[in-house]
């Protein structure tokens, strides 16, 4: 178990990270520790070079309290967001603000060596002009990951990546701790940190080429026993019939409501869409926005199919927010109605009473790479990890080479 001191430091860091400009009196309220303990812990974080003053807050009679913020420039974190067809590498400061990024088209099926070599050279370009230590690396991949070890496990669309030691390779390359997670969890994390409000119990659903979900419980990602929680692309759905999925099973959600189905049906139903070479889901969304009624109907139908599965998950999980991300999200007006209808038709009144159903505020590429940075920061600043790299009386430790 982590000591009270470390728990206090972690709680204060979390509050400073969530609300830059917070004052000590507000920290006392938020963190629930006494004034003198908060003052002592803040002094410790200042001595460690993690927190600094930045102006003054409103006075409540006496001396105006200092505003506190993270020493954002003490280090950087590296985010590597591997998608099925694209790679984004970014460098962020300790608040998660993206300082610079690079994007390249890839094929994830080219395997881990090719993809990670490219990621490493993009990272080197980004890091070269900055003489700042890399504190941690966050990595997202489009497949199931055993979170504890960072290993992809039998990932369906990532041949060659099964149990590839991503963590060991990148730790050796950058001399910093590495965490790996699946792409949907990272999009949810990016969205969580972008949102101004507490997230409660949230379901983040990515509807794009693939379909996946991320589970947020009391504002924190829930990953399940092995890290595969949220993997809903290949659940069987009532409307699935005998359609064969790329996974080999029949009647999967993704086979019916995923991007490949959207493209296939789009070609059949809309002459305008059939004329687009290399048709992709975002083309269907654009056509719907531009008044193509066949595209609108198709989005409506796809959303209703997705909504059927979401009704099951809402009944089971009883979230208070459902966020739709992925390439369907920009078609807000053509998808949310059908999803809401499907959920309200099936789920109990109690399960939907406080449920808000919305589209993501960030485009998926942005939430993904932002999420990789926040993954790294959430882990570096977690109580269990703070205890490792922030030992008592070693204020100039940084979290390198300790994992």
25 in contact with a copy of itself (CB under 8 A): no
> Closer to a copy of itself at the Cβ: 102 or 346?
346
Position among 319, 330, 368, 399 found at the interface with a copy of itself (CB under 8 A): 319
> Closer to a copy of itself at the Cβ: 89 or 186?
186
Distance CA(165)–CA(243), nearest Å, equals 35
95 in contact with a copy of itself (CB under 8 A): no
Which segment (53-61, 63-71, 111-119, 210-218) binds a copy of itself by CB under 8 A?
Answer: 210-218
Distance CA(143)–CA(82), nearest Å, equals 10
Answer whether 284's CB lies under 8 Å from 266's CB.
yes
194 in contact with a copy of itself (CB under 8 A): no
Alpha-carbon torsion (390, 394, 399, 403), positive or negative: negative
> Closer to a copy of itself at the Cβ: 315 or 400?
315
Which segment (40-48, 262-270, 327-335, 349-357) binds a copy of itself by CB under 8 A?
Answer: 349-357
> Closer to a copy of itself at the Cβ: 112 or 251?
251
387 in contact with a copy of itself (CB under 8 A): no
Distance CA(63)–CA(349), nearest Å, equals 51
> Closer to a copy of itself at the Cβ: 46 or 146?
146
Position among 349, 392, 393, 394 found at the interface with a copy of itself (CB under 8 A): 349
Position among 43, 64, 244, 348 found at the interface with a copy of itself (CB under 8 A): 348
Binding mask 55-84 for a copy of itself (x = CB under 8 A): ------------------------------
Whole-number Cα distances in Å, 291 to 20, 138, 272, 327, 339:
43, 40, 11, 18, 20
Position among 24, 103, 315, 361 found at the interface with a copy of itself (CB under 8 A): 315
Binding mask 216-255 for a copy of itself (x = CB under 8 A): -x----xxxxxxxxxxx-xxxxx-x--------x-x----
Give, as ranges, the residues between 120 and 139 that touch a copy of itself (CB under 8 A): none
Nearest distance in Å: CB 128, a copy of itself: 37
Distance, first Cα to last Cα, the chain: 18
345 in contact with a copy of itself (CB under 8 A): yes
Position among 116, 122, 215, 304 found at the interface with a copy of itself (CB under 8 A): 215
Strand bridging mode 22-23 / 66-70: antiparallel
> Closer to a copy of itself at the Cβ: 84 or 331?
84
Question: Considering only CA atoms, which of 349, 355, 339, 259 is closest in space to residue 307?
Answer: 339
Nearest distance in Å: CB 326, a copy of itself: 17
Position among 154, 172, 244, 402 found at the interface with a copy of itself (CB under 8 A): 154
Burial grade of 371 (CB within 10 A; 0-12, 13-18, 19 or more): buried
Strand bridging mode 134-141 / 76-82: parallel
Long-range contacts of 230-239, Cβ-Cβ distance < 8 Å, separation of 24 or more: 230/182, 230/184, 230/185, 231/144, 231/182, 232/205, 232/309, 232/313, 233/258, 235/309, 237/305, 237/308, 237/309, 238/308, 239/305, 239/308
Please give the residue ranges that form the binding site for a copy of itself (CB under 8 A).
Answer: 1-2, 4, 31-33, 144, 146, 153-154, 200-201, 213, 215, 217, 222-232, 234-238, 240, 249, 251, 308-309, 311-313, 315-320, 345-351, 353-355
């Amino acid at each position: 178990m982590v000591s009270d001191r470390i728990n206090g430091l972690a709680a204060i860091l979390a509050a400073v990270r969530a609300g830059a400009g917070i004052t000590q009196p507000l920290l006392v309220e938020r963190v629930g520790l006494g004034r003198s303990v908060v003052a002592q812990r803040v002094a410790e974080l200042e001595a460690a070079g993690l927190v600094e003053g930045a102006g003054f807050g409103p006075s409540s009679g006496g001396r105006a309290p200092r505003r506190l913020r993270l020493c954002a420039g003490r280090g950087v974190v590296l985010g590597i967001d591997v998608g099925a067809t694209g790679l984004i590498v970014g460098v962020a400061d300790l608040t998660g603000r993206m300082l610079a990024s690079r994007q390249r088209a890839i094929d994830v099926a080219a395997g881990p060596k090719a993809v990670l070599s490219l990621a490493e050279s993009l990272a080197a370009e980004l890091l070269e002009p900055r003489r700042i230590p890399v504190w941690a690396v966050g990595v997202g991949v489009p497949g199931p990951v055993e979170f504890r070890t960072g290993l992809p496990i039998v990932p369906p669309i990532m041949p060659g990546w099964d149990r590839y030691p991503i963590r060991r390779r990148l730790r050796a390359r950058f001399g910093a701790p590495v965490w790996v997670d699946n792409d949907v969890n990272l999009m949810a994390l990016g969205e969580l940190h972008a949102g101004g409000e507490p997230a409660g119990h949230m379901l983040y659903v990515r509807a794009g080429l693939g379909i996946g979900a991320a589970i947020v419980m009391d504002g924190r990602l829930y990953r399940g026993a092995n890290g595969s929680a949220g993997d809903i692309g290949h659940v069987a759905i009532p409307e699935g019939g005998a359609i064969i999925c790329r996974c080999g099973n029949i009647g999967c959600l993704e086979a019916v409501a995923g991007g490949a189905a959207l493209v296939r049906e789009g070609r059949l139903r809309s002459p305008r869409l059939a004329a687009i070479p290399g048709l992709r889901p975002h083309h269907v969304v654009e056509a719907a926005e531009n008044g193509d009624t066949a595209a609108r109907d198709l989005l409506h139908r796809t959303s209703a199919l997705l909504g059927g599965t979401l009704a099951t998950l809402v009944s089971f999980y009883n979230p208070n927010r459902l966020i739709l991300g992925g390439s369907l999200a920009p078609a807000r007006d053509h998808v949310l109605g059908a999803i809401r209808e499907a959920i309200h038709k099936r789920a109990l009144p109690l399960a939907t009473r406080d449920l808000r159903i919305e589209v993501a505020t960030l485009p998926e590429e942005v939430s993904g790479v932002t999420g990789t940075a926040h993954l790294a920061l959430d882990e570096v600043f977690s109580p269990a990890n703070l205890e490792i790299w922030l030992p008592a009386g070693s204020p100039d430790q940084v979290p390198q080479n300790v994992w």
